[in-house]
Structure 1
Amino acid sequence: MDNSTDNWDPALTRLLSSLKEVQSDGEDVAFLSELLQSKQLHALVQVHNKIVAAQCKDDKFYPLLSNAMQVTLEVLEMFGEVVISSNEYKELLKLLQKPHFQAILCTHDAVAQKDYYPHLPDIPADADDEEETVKIVQLVKSDEPLGGAQSAEPIVGATIKTDEETGKIVIARVMHGGAADRSGLIHAGDEVIEVNGISVENKSPADVLSILQSSEGTITFKLVPSFGKGGSRESKVRVRALFHYNSAEDPYIPCKEAGLNFKKGDILHIVSQDDAYWWQARREGDRVMRAGLIPSRALQEGRIIHERQTDPQTLDGKAALCSPSAANSDCGPKTPCSPTPNATALLPCKSTPKVKKIIYDIKENDDFDREMIPTYEEVARLYPRPGLIRPIVLVGAPGVGRNELRRRLVATDPEKYVTPVPYTSRAQKPSEQNGKEYVFVTREKMEQDISEGKFIEHGEYKGNLYGTSAESVETIVNSGRVCVLSPHWQALKMLRTPRLRPYIIFIKPPSLKTLSETRTAANARSTFDKECSRAFTEEEFADIIRSSNRINFLYGYMFDEEIVNEDLATALTQLLKMAWRVQSEPLWVPAAWVQ
């Protein structure tokens, strides 16, 4: 081995010597020998050894000096006393005089001297060791909320309240991701003694908030720690919101500035469910790390139940803003949460949807869906993979155009997009081919299959049964093609299963005026009259709007996307984009579908 290898790692050198003693000319031995003689490998080993040696000596690295800027100034002063004409001297002199380089040195010195640590007040010399343990926490004021019974401007990411038993000011909750949470020093239950040196004894939350609002720069808290009530671990639960929420319109939220607004369909990351009525959450994908308050599932279910009891015919799905008054809640003064004396309607409760035990027909019968209480649905990402083909389901009111969109989508690529052949009990016509237009079966056979749950939808027309079998859908999916369906909306309960994992698109009509104008201009023919071809009536347009609103109210929590069918060409373009995305991008689905 030549002299250039004298400083190589001894262990690798011994391993190489041993390898040369092996009498073998195999490729593996040759490869290993070449690797052990690699200069890059030996350089990496040396770096590794130095790091290990440093860690064994001390767990931390320390700066060589903490006055680098002062040394630089001394060097510049020395350079001013001599005359050197070399290029290296000129380059170094120019570098040391650059503002950016000097700023880096000043930053180095600040870090080395730990000047970034907050300067806390000294502990009084006459402090009594037997007094109650306190902690002093200093935070930089930011645009984060700290509120109590009254609303307050954003400050440090926590809420306060008056303890009902002791009358003292305590930390009600710490917002995940906020300044208080990031400090790791403030916890729910901590008693506030002083704020910026001002005692909070006999003060209300509003008084404390006034002190905080008038503070500039840093805020110093003196707290009595609540032992055994450390911060909770962040949850990993993701949910899809099934309703709209605006904290500014909620009179019972503990702190409006701490509320998180969201829209139906938003994906929320639930970071804390410690409070029975107010969860902490972030919108998935938001860069803001601080969590906000949202109503819990139990609270929102109570609101919806109250709304339905107050107005059972409501179709807009807007819930009355009402909150249970709880002894340990930090929502301020106790306020009756229900306009009726029956407050039990707002307590957390579970409602089991009724199971339909009869064969339904095309006539509407949604009584069995009235008890569904959509609030949040736990979701997870479903990643595309070979063999995973999700059916596309178009649902909407009769006459809205979902069947026409289905036909046009299939026409774009008949080899890829396929609609299952429907079953019927009517007699086969001479011009028809079994399995092409329809699959013809006896009425007895079809009724038996319906009773056994083998049809995703079925109905009767002029004394004959019609329907779509679940097996025909699965056959298309298993063949690697995309099954496209436009079923009756009640079929969603049979389709939306972990086995099929459909992608459900709601075809929504435009406004009544636009619906009438666009269909009239396109000479659209009514789908309400199968006996003759005629235009839609104004009453039929109104029926489309009413039926669409009802479908959205009862089944909207199942929809993945929405298309407003104002212009057929534009709606088809949107549908094609969605059809491509569902087979190529990871999408949020019910969590049970990916387990």
Structure 2
Amino acid sequence: MTAEVMAADANWDPALSKLVSSLKETETLSSEQEIDFLKTLLESKELNALVNVHSKVAKVGRDDKLAPLLSTSTQVLLEVLEQLSQRCHLSPICKEAFYLLQNPHLQSLLCAHDAIAQKDFYPHLPEIPVEMDEDEETIKIVQLVKSNEPLAGAQSAEPIVGATIKTDEDTGKIIIARIMHGGAADRSGLIHVGDEVIEVNGINVEGKTPGDVLQILQNSEGTITFKLVPSDGKGGQRESKVRVRAHFDYNPENDPYIPCKEAGLAFQRGDILHIVSQDDAYWWQARKESERTARAGLIPSRALQERRVIHERTQRDTTDGDSKKGSCASICTTPPGSPMLNSSSSTSSCRQPKTKKIMYDLAENDDFDREMIATYEEVAKLYPRPGVFRPVVLIGAPGVGRNELKRRLTARDPEKFRSPVPYTTRPIRQGEVPGREYIFISREKMEADVSAGKFIEHGEYKGHLYGTSAESVKSIVNAGCVCILSPHYQAIKALRTVQLKPFMIHIKPPSFDVLKETRTASRAKSTFDETNSRGFTDEEFQDMVKHGERIDFLYGHYFDEEILNDDLATALEKLVNCVQRAENEPLWAPASWVQ
């Protein structure tokens, strides 16, 4: 095969054709035997095929790098499910797609896709090492564009853009203490925890304090240049996927121990937080779930918040300060990072109080619930299942109207909404029908069933036992109906289980004046009078308000919704909307319920 023929063949590699042509120029310099050997080799189909394969692979690796269109398909799936859940009643196609996307095999496939898509399988050549003396340090120069985002602070230090700094206790040098997820330093991928700061905008920071560095940054405009000595540890932060529901209010402006108030994230009880980093034992990084693109902020960790609460209770309950000073007080009044906070002895001295495990009494006997420390609860989206409805639990102060709301909701659609008949050991009264108002059984039988775990909630009132059997609730759910419960508020924790997965609503009383005005106008009869022949007294109205506040204080973090019962008709419509949400929408619930 001649070089001209090779060149004319579009499938033949042009580089090989050029090499064969160039052999003519070497004929006078080389032996005929060598020329023939090279021609045979270059004109072989096998070599040409190998060169073509090499060219195509090299071209793909250089120009057409294969990359997934999306590496977060699982998150897109959840968002699509959330949108479809709101339209299932409009179209059978939407409903079919909604159930199809809940298929575990499809979801597992997308999870596997994301796991692969987030990795880089292309080979990377190592960087060419720079020859240097053994004692010479590696220096990296990083430039960040100064933006309007808040500056983040450091413990006993001042802030830099998107990161926190501090003075190393051993060396006295300025080092990077924390990288704020979503901040400028994090987005650059070039600044890592432990890096030593040498210069900022050409100004040497040796011997300076973090406050001095802050001043340099505040006086800088546009691009900020850092000269850093890399840390020994590897950089790169991966966001965690943990979501939690906050069980308390937090405002960094009122926190004297936060490393930097500007870096803090304020939130309220009930907010869903995405915990992006738990690397620090005392200060987590988080952003609100509703603000997915926002820079992460600092919030107290679960351990730190528990210690604070214990300290506050200790301070409140201590009558003799000198005799009862303990390490708990020292821990919470010492800024994070101090030797006291990091000592191992401090942990054992601040154990969480034990919670009494007793059957609730309808008298004032809920002080033990105050011992529970409400911080954060890990949550996940709980998706509705066709034909299986979550029990709806109405919690409220005695007399606030939760039973009336339950009665009216059931009356709207008796085939859909049903309530289990409670059990009691009290004697039957005139006009009552067994199995309608109550199921009447002996105390011995009920105590035996309670011990056998047959009641999901039970209690004692005026010497008689009351309770709801687990089997009665199960039968309502299995029948495809919505089970409506209105137990005493002390039964909340007994009902809030993975087996029931209840949707809990707090029926709250309005203020005393509104409560008295509305109940008097509607001629409401007192539920505290067994004959039901008189209206509520001022004392009973005051008790309702007090109990509403007590329920909110002790159990407010457990509720999925709150309804103010200032007008019965309005409250009923709100209740219907809440029940529809529980039926049709994916809602946040304890993570253990979803697993």
**Superposition TM-score, scaled by structure 2 size:** 0.72
Equivalent residue number for residue 527 of structure 2: 527
Quick one: structure 1 residues 347 and 58, their matched pair in 2 at CA, closer, same or farther if it must change by over 3 Å?
A: farther
Indicate how the Cα distance of structure 1 residues 426 and 205 shifts in structure 2: closer, same or farther if over 3 A, else same: closer
Which residue matches 2:138? 133
Query: Counterparts in 2 of 1:76-475, with a 5 A limit?
Result: 130-142=135-147, 143-148=149-154, 156-312=161-317, 323=332, 325=334, 328=337, 344=346, 349-356=351-358, 359-427=359-427, 432-460=432-460, 464-475=464-475
Q: For the residues of structure 1 that align with 2:587 and 2:557, how far apart are their CA atoms?
A: 16
Q: Quote the offset at 1:540 in angstroms.
A: 1.8
| Counterpart in the other structure of 1:498 | 498
2:316 maps to a residue whose letter is: D
SS at 2:577's partner residue? helix
Residue matched to 1:568 = 568
The 3 A distance-change label for structure 1 pair 573 and 540 is same
Residues 533-590 of structure 1: per-residue CA shift (max 9 Å, x gap): 2222222222112212222222222111111111112211111111000011001111
In 2, Cα distance between the equivalents of 1:216 and 1:524? Answer: 68
Amino acid of the structure 1 residue aligned with 2:509 = P
Alignment partners' CA distance in 1, 2:426 and 2:509? 33
Mapped to 2, the partners of 1:424 and 1:52 lie a distance apart of: 84
- Superposition deviation, residue 523 in structure 1: 2.4
How far off is 1:431 after superposition? 5.8
Conserved? CA contact 1:133–1:225, under 8 Å: yes
Asked whether the 8 Å contact 2:157–2:166 carries over to 1, the reply is no
Aligned partners of 2:360 and 2:460 also within 8 Å: no
Is contact 2:391–2:483 with CA below 8 Å preserved after alignment?
yes
Whether the aligned pair in 2 keeps the contact of 1:152 and 1:257 (CA below 8 Å) is: no
Q: Distance in 1 between matches of 2:517 and 2:478?
A: 42
**How far is 1:173 from its partner?**
0.2
For residue 392 of structure 1, report the CA deviation from its aligned partner. Answer: 0.3
- Taking structure 1 as reference, are residues 322 and 494 closer, same or farther at Cα in structure 2, changes over 3 Å only? same
| CA drift at 1:292 | 0.6
Q: Which amino acid aligns with 1:194?
A: E
1:5 corresponds in structure 2 to none
Q: Deviations over 1:468-509 (max 9, x none)?
A: 212211111111101101100111122111000001111111
Residues in 2 aligned to 1:324 and 1:426: alpha-carbon distance in whole angstroms: 53
Once residues 526 and 51 of structure 1 are traced to their aligned partners in structure 2, the CA distance between those partners, rounded to angstroms, is 89
My pick for the range that moved more, 255-264 or 386-395, is: 386-395
Instruction: Output the CA distance in 2 between the equivalents of 1:245 and 1:405.
Output: 34
Q: Could you tell me whether the CA contact under 8 Å between 2:524 and 2:535 is conserved in 1?
A: yes
Whole-Å separation in 1 of the counterparts to 2:589 and 2:436? 34
SS at match of 2:519: helix
Q: Deviations over 1:56-112 (max 9, x none)?
A: 3252339xxxxxxxxxxxxxxxxxxxxxxxxxxxxxxxxxxxxxxxxxxxxxxxxxx
Instruction: Give the whole-Å Cα distance in 2 for the aligned partners of 1:405 and 1:557.
Output: 22
**Does the CA contact (< 8 Å) of 2:395 and 2:507 recur in 1?**
yes
Q: How many residues align?
A: 466
Query: Residue 58 of structure 2 corresponds to which residue in structure 1?
Result: 56
Q: Is the 8 A contact 2:363 2:461 kept in 1?
A: no
Three-state SS of the structure 2 residue aligned to 1:556 is: helix
CA distance in 1, matches of 2:425, 2:209: 76
Cα distance in 2 between the residues matched to 1:197 and 1:462: 79
Separation (CA, whole Å) in 1 of partners of 2:480 and 2:134? 76
Change (3 A) 1:592 1:462: closer
- Please report how far the alpha carbon of residue 152 of structure 1 lies from its aligned counterpart in structure 2 after TM superposition: 6.2
The residue aligned with 1:538 is 538
State the alpha-carbon separation in 2 of the partners of residues 584 and 349 from structure 1.
Answer: 42
CA distance in 1, matches of 2:350, 2:333: 10
Other structure's SS at 1:230 match: coil
The answer to whether the 8 A contact 1:324-1:346 is kept is no
Alignment-mate amino acid for residue 384 of structure 2: P
Alignment partners' CA distance in 1, 2:418 and 2:468: 13
CA–CA separation in structure 2 for the residues paired with 1:151 and 1:543: 50
Structure 1 residues 171 and 346, CA, compared in 2 at 3 Å: closer, same or farther?
farther
Between the aligned residues of both structures, percent identity stands at 64
- Against the structure 1 CA distance between its residues 149 and 273, is the aligned structure 2 distance closer, same or farther, given a 3 Å change threshold? closer
Unaligned runs of 5+ in 1: 1-8, 10-49, 63-124, 314-319, 338-342
- In structure 1, C-alpha distance between the alignment counterparts of 2:137 and 2:440, rounded to whole Å: 85
- Quote how far apart the aligned CAs of 1:189 are: 1.1
Q: Is the 8 A contact 2:158 2:165 kept in 1?
A: no
Contact 1:507 1:562 in 2 (8 A): yes
Residues 133 and 472 (structure 1), Cα distance of their counterparts in 2 relative to 1, 3 Å cut: same
Which whole-Å CA distance do the structure 1 matches of 2:224 and 2:524 have between them? Answer: 68
Query: Partners of 1:351 and 1:55 in 2: how far apart?
Result: 65
Q: CA RMSD in A?
A: 3.1
